[in-house]
């Protein structure tokens, strides 16, 4: 296949993002994995890029007793080794670490919240920012005591300051618990102050879906059931459960990846144009779309979903254990590490168009992408003379890696015959702009400090997501568990996933690279 490169029509200067407001970021779960792997490296990068307000500080909260000095040196160790931190240097770290403080406490102890309030007031008296950004880095479903404790200690108040809370997914386990959690959050915080993180929304390529769709008049007229045959959405990983066996036993791939990241990708691909690029206008359209996805009956779940679990295999020439051999995983676990679904959107634009979505761990390559397959041309003018097939165009929105977009179309093959050749117009962020844009957590942390909730999930979106996922989870509990493990690590997932598309002249794109 020939490749056509895409070039920008003007010279691009990438400006650094604007700094956030001054604030004190209070991290619950400060000695945890997320703080070490994502939050602190992202904050460090933002500080090095000059995007951090001089009045920005962190107060890490955790049960482990340690001093602020110990906290800093633990984080220094983590950040200096992290691949997420760009250009680690001792002098940059020295500047940055002076903003880090630690406070020991048990989130289940009522007195802790009064102590925290005293500490925050004392910091404020010594010149720290009055704005407070609480970051609950434990899963939102275990966050209830923290949210209630903050409310009881009146740490949710906004007079003379802003007070916001960031929550990590999963936001509940099903529709009922998701609603209950939302209620607990709303008893204490106003929805406008709640920032639910789905880090996929912070990815540059995910934001680009909206620009591609609504910034170009070329694609919008054909973006519907009249021209589109089906849409394929993939989030494949080569990693296993990475030491999170007990989390995965509880969660599984459907709750971990589909209930949020993949449904958000679907919503952005299929939603109607918002009236403006404003938080509520965008989120309103996403909610409408999510609500239009048809929930499945148990019979439909049996036919239109496939779950899988990896067995031992090879990835990049290395032997890797099966899921059931991972630490903290039961030897007869029924948790899925792979899920594939066929979903339908019941609205005028999409009636009858299947959306095939799949995600899995320990697959043959790491790739997240959305492939929009167009219908064949109505008449096969060149079918006999070309590569023997009627042309179908495919637009691939490459989320990661190799961030960019491909558009495939047919052109005349040089020569005296009317023969067609498929070419691929390729836009690559790296080749065009020299970089792929800031990592998702940097974008999202900065947005939360600037008070822009556009890229965060709203309460009704979460409930709309659970409305689709809960019937599948319930049906899976009733239906026989497939003979797990049913795919080899390093493969493209269970063979059964092919049957979702079989007989329709459609197929999943092979993941092998």
Q: Which residue's CB is nearer to ligand BG6, number 53 or number 448? A: 448
Burial of 350 (0-12, 13-18, 19+ CB in 10 A): buried
What is the smallest separation between the CB atom of 237 and ligand BG6, expressed in angstroms?
6
Q: Which residue's CB is nearer to ligand BG6, number 237 or number 410? A: 237
404 DSSP β-pair partners: 398, 428
Cis peptide before 196 (omega within 30 of 0): no
Q: Which residues bind ligand BG6 (CB under 6 A)?
A: 237, 256, 368
Among 261, 292, 144, 255, residue whose Cα is nearest residue 197: 261
Among 123, 145, 144, 170, residue whose Cα is nearest residue 26: 123
What is the smallest separation between the CB atom of 446 and ligand BG6, expressed in angstroms?
17
Q: What's the rounded Cα separation, in Å, for the pair 506 and 474? A: 29
What is the smallest separation between the CB atom of 284 and ligand BG6, expressed in angstroms?
24
Q: Which residue's CB is nearer to ligand BG6, number 393 or number 396? A: 396
Among 137, 133, 143, residue whose Cα is nearest residue 181: 143
Annotated catalytic residue, options 101, 110, 199, 261: 261
Q: Which residue's CB is nearer to ligand BG6, number 90 or number 316? A: 316
Q: What's the rounded Cα separation, in Å, for the pair 415 and 318? A: 47
What is the smallest separation between the CB atom of 204 and ligand BG6, expressed in angstroms?
12
Among 207, 278, 291, residue whose Cα is nearest residue 454: 278
Spell out the alpha helix ranges (H) of 336-458.
429-433, 440-450
Among 56, 58, 60, 57, residue whose Cα is nearest residue 29: 60
Could you give the angle at which helices 263-270 and 279-292 cross, rounded to 10 degrees?
100
Q: Which residue's CB is nearer to ligand BG6, number 120 or number 257? A: 257
What is the smallest separation between the CB atom of 403 and ligand BG6, expressed in angstroms?
12
Residue with the shortest CB distance to ligand BG6 = 256
Q: What's the rounded Cα separation, in Å, for the pair 143 and 196? A: 12
Q: What's the rounded Cα separation, in Å, for the pair 16 and 92? A: 18
Among 161, 230, 173, 217, residue whose Cα is nearest residue 374: 230
What is the smallest separation between the CB atom of 461 and ligand BG6, expressed in angstroms?
16
What is the smallest separation between the CB atom of 444 and ligand BG6, expressed in angstroms?
12
Containing H/E element for 179?
helix 175-188
Q: Which residue's CB is nearer to ligand BG6, number 240 or number 274? A: 240
> In this structure, are residues 167 and 181 in contact, taking their beta carbons and an 8 Å threshold?
no
Is 199 catalytic? The answer is no
Among 507, 513, 205, 226, residue whose Cα is nearest residue 356: 507
Q: Which residue's CB is nearer to ligand BG6, number 237 or number 369? A: 237
Which residues carry out catalysis?
A: 261
């Amino acid at each position: 296949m020939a490749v056509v490169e895409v070039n920008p029509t003007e010279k691009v200067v990438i400006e650094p993002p604007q700094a956030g407001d001054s604030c004190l970021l209070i991290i619950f779960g400060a000695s945890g994995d997320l703080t070490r792997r994502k939050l602190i490296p992202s904050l460090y990068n933002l500080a090095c890029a000059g995007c951090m307000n001089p009045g920005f500080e962190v107060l890490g909260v955790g049960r482990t007793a340690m001093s602020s000095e110990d906290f800093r040196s633990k984080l220094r160790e983590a950040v200096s080794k992290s691949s997420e931190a760009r250009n680690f240097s001792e002098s940059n770290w020295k500047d940055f670490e002076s903003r880090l403080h630690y406070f020991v406490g048990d989130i289940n102890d009522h007195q802790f919240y009064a102590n925290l309030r005293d500490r925050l007031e004392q910091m404020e008296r010594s010149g720290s920012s009055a704005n407070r950004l609480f970051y609950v880095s434990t899963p939102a479903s275990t966050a209830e005591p923290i949210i209630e404790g903050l409310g009881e200690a009146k740490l949710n108040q906004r007079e003379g300051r802003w007070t916001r809370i960031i929550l990590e997914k999963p936001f509940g386990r099903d529709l009922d618990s998701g609603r209950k959690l939302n209620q607990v959050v709303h008893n204490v915080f106003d929805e406008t102050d709640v920032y639910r993180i789905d880090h996929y929304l912070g990815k540059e390529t995910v934001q680009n879906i909206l620009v591609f769709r609504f910034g170009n008049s070329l694609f919008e007229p054909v973006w519907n059931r009249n021209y589109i045959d089906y849409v394929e959405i993939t989030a494949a990983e080569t990693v296993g459960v990475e030491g999170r066996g007990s989390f995965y036993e509880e969660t599984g791939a459907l709750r971990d990846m589909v209930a949020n990241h993949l449904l958000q990708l679907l919503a952005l691909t299929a939603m109607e144009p918002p009236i403006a690029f404003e938080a509520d206008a965008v989120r309103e359209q996403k909610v409408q779309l999510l609500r239009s996805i048809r929930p499945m009956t148990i019979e439909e779940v049996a036919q239109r979903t496939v779950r899988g679990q990896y067995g031992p295999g090879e990835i990049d020439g290395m032997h890797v254990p099966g899921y059931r051999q991972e630490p903290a995983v039961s030897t007869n676990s029924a948790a899925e590490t792979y899920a594939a679904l066929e979903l339908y959107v019941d609205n005028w634009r999409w009636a009858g168009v299947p959306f095939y979505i799949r995600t899995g761990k320990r697959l043959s390559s790491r790739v997240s992408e959305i492939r929009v397959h167009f219908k064949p041309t109505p008449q096969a003018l060149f079918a006999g003379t070309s590569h023997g097939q009627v042309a179908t165009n495919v637009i691939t929105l490459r989320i990661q890696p190799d961030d960019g977009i491909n558009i495939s179309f047919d052109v005349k093959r040089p020569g005296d015959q009317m023969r067609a050749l498929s070419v691929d117009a390729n836009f690559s962020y790296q080749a065009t702009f020299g970089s792929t844009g800031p990592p998702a957590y940097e974008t999202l942390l900065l947005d939360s400090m600037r008070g822009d909730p556009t890229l965060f999930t709203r309460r009704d979106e979460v409930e709309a997501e659970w409305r689709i996922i809960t019937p599948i989870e319930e049906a899976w509990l009733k239906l026989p568990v497939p003979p797990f493990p049913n795919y080899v690590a390093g493969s493209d997932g269970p063979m059964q996933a092919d049957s979702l598309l079989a007989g329709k002249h459609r197929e999943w794109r092979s993941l092998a690279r």
